[in-house]
Amino acid sequence: MTSAMHTEELTHRYGRRTALSGCTLDVPAGHVVGLVGPNGAGKSTLLQLACGLLDPTAGRIEVLGERPVSGSPRVGFVAQDTPVYAGLTVAEHLTLGARLNPAWDDGLARRRIAQAGLDPAQKAGKLSGGQRAQLALTVAAAKRPELLLLDEPVAALDPLARRAFLQSLMELAAEHGMSIVMSSHLVADLERVCDHLIVLVGSRVRVAGDVDELLAGHHRLVGPRRSAESLGAGRDVIEERHTDVQSTLVVRSTAPIDDPSWQVDSLSLEDLVLTYMSEGQPAGSRVLEGQR
């Protein structure tokens, strides 16, 4: 499997604050990868390390087989605040993009600008937040990078624009083999477009893998109250809740659960993400299906 990104024990500190700690992960090339985690988990820090805007404090990161270099034409990045040049018009952004990027796809850029309903003559400083995000995304995609890194790209988009944007991401990955890593809090969106998922919690990777494999390997068990240890080896208990009479467990297991006294259900991607995100928090703040 070729990697779009590979990290080993990657750590970044801002002064005394650790933003990412001992992060080891592999992002397969040619996939759309979702990066989720609570606020402050280190997602933006990881993406900025990947595009060379930050340097590791410790550990190693390779992107497309190289040490990340800021401004590389092989990597596109859209930061959370979608920076644009306020004094330049939309059309001037495309002209500048074409001048700076050898693989610039002008057709793609103009199509996306038209789809987003942007006026080429308008100054970027006068665009709305969502329109600015559309422009920044267009410029990043039209660079035709091998890897596109997006930090909460759809947060400012209206639902229609969001759907169109997610559709275009899937097309970029399918038609041009572009690898895409996008952070988002909108798990339903990630579920629509991502085939690989990374859950980052407290500056560490909590779980990562192919979405279908993750869903197939996680189960919710409901049955008469008993200790989680009764499940035996090879089953990783991610979450357990007990009443006087009933136990509810979320387990990771590739082997089938063959004890008929358990009712075994699958998890949605949102349940899976929430389970990992709430790990380590007091049981009262955890969210389980039926209690939301």
Ligand X SMILES: Nc1ncnc2c1ncn2[C@@H]1O[C@H](COP(=O)(O)OP(=O)(O)OP(=O)(O)O)[C@@H](O)[C@H]1O
Q: What are the residues binding ligand X (CB under 6 A)?
A: 14, 17, 19, 37, 39-45
**Of 40 and 125, CB closest to ligand X:** 40
Q: Could you count the other beta carbons within 10 Å of the beta carbon of residue 230?
A: 12
| Shortest CB 68 distance to ligand X, Å | 16
**Of 42 and 76, CB closest to ligand X:** 42
**Of 43 and 219, CB closest to ligand X:** 43
| Shortest CB 17 distance to ligand X, Å | 5
Distance from the first to the final alpha carbon of the chain: 39
| Shortest CB 37 distance to ligand X, Å | 5
| Shortest CB 14 distance to ligand X, Å | 3
| Shortest CB 207 distance to ligand X, Å | 16
**Of 10 and 116, CB closest to ligand X:** 10
Q: Could you count the other beta carbons within 10 Å of the beta carbon of residue 12?
A: 23
As beta bridge partners, residue 7 has 25, 61
**Of 7 and 44, CB closest to ligand X:** 44
